[in-house]
Amino acid sequence: MSSTVSVEEVHLHPSPSDGISCVRFSPDACDWLLATSWDKSMSLYDVPSNRLRVKVDADHALLACAFGATRTQAFSGGVEGIVGSHDLEVANHVTKLGTHDKAVAHIRFNALTGQVLSGSWDGCVSGWDPKSNSRTIHLEQSGKVYALSTQENLVVVGTSTKRIALYDIRRTNEPIQDIESPLKYQIRCIELFPDAQGYAIGSTEGRVALEYVDPARKGYAFKCHREKISDSETYVFPINAIAFHPRFGTFATGGCDGMINVWDGDNKKRINQFLQNQTTRYPTRSRSSTAGTPREACI
């Protein structure tokens, strides 16, 4: 049985002046938070002390970020298609690792190989060696890269054509899996399990699917982030993010309804729900249903 709890929000100051595009906690200890914004900045916060440690100013909107091998190394991507490497001990020290033809929407760091992975709307995933500032991987996809995750030796990509490609980062000549998303609507996010045995997918239609690397294991999907208005109408909210607990394997989903749900994927049940705050609920294009007929609704 799940529980619903209200938690105290911590507002980090000073916050970016425009929408936040990506947030990442430091991998060694979850006390530093990296955030990119449409205001052309990347900010590093010390969460316990509520202090802005570093602010990096770019000349274009930043859409993605990731920590590197240490908490003072970070990487970014933005609308200009530039993949940047940052020394956070020197506020505006930026090295250009490389470029894409269109915006870089996703940045990940693979700890096993030390490579930076970038996913772009140009339909490519690239790998970069930050030591030599050279491209190590070039993977052409079937459409724009809408989701990207890496864990251990695996990389999983979700595209605008609803294709999901799974690669072994050590041998990228062809994917381990290349399947159509089990979800009917557009892929919004994807995240590999901490043990790299599978991955979770979130869609714009308020559904999550779990798929496994082992083809003998059957995946499943479920509905979430929905608000019942009446017997004939339900608001449906996109899934914005999925995050796994590194040790227990439970995972959280964040939706456009401003809610955070925590799930036990093995037992197929919700174990917690964090109540929304009105400041975290944003207007979005969503789907509702009247008498079983889907229609577009603006929430």
Q: Which domains does the chain have, with CATH numbers?
A: 10-152 (2.130.10.10), 181-299 (2.130.10.10)
Q: Residue 188 is encoded by which pair of tokens? A: 């919004």
pLDDT digits (tens, 9 = 90+) for 185-220: 999 999 999 999 999 999 999 999 999 999 999 999
Amino acid making up residue 65 = C
C-alpha torsion sign, points 204, 259, 212, 166:
positive
pLDDT digits (tens, 9 = 90+) for 8-28: 678 899 999 999 999 999 988
More confident: 114 or 281: 114
Enumerate the β-bridge partners of residue 201: 190, 209
Q: With cut-offs at 50, 70 and 90, classify the pLDDT of residue 92.
A: confident
- DSSP, residue by residue, 77-89: EETT-EEEEEETT
pLDDT digits (tens, 9 = 90+) for 229-252: 898 899 999 999 999 998 899 999
Taking 3-state DSSP, the helix, strand and coil percentages for the chain, each rounded to the nearest 5, stand at 0, 55, 45
- DSSP, residue by residue, 190-207: EEE-TTSSEEEEEETTSE
Query: From CA 58, how far away is CA 60, in angstroms rounded?
Result: 6
pTM, rounded to two decimals: 0.89
- Angstrom CA distances, 73 to 54, 178, 209, stand at 12, 32, 33
Burial class for 170, CB neighbours closer than 10 Å (0-12, 13-18, 19+) = exposed
| Closest by CA position to 64, among listed 46, 48, 47, 80 | 80
| pLDDT at res. 286 | 47
Please, which residues have CB within 8 angstroms of residue 198's CB and are 6 or more apart in sequence?
Answer: 192, 210, 211, 212, 213, 217, 219
pLDDT digits (tens, 9 = 90+) for 66-91: 999 999 999 999 999 999 999 998 87
| pLDDT at res. 93 | 81
Mean pLDDT score of the chain, rounded to an integer?
Answer: 90
Which residue has tokens 């609704």? 297
pLDDT digits (tens, 9 = 90+) for 146-191: 999 999 999 999 999 999 999 999 999 999 999 999 999 999 999 9
| pLDDT at res. 162 | 98
Query: From CA 41, how far away is CA 62, in angstroms rounded?
Result: 7
- What one-character DSSP code corresponds to residue 249? -
C-alpha torsion sign, points 2, 191, 287, 78:
positive
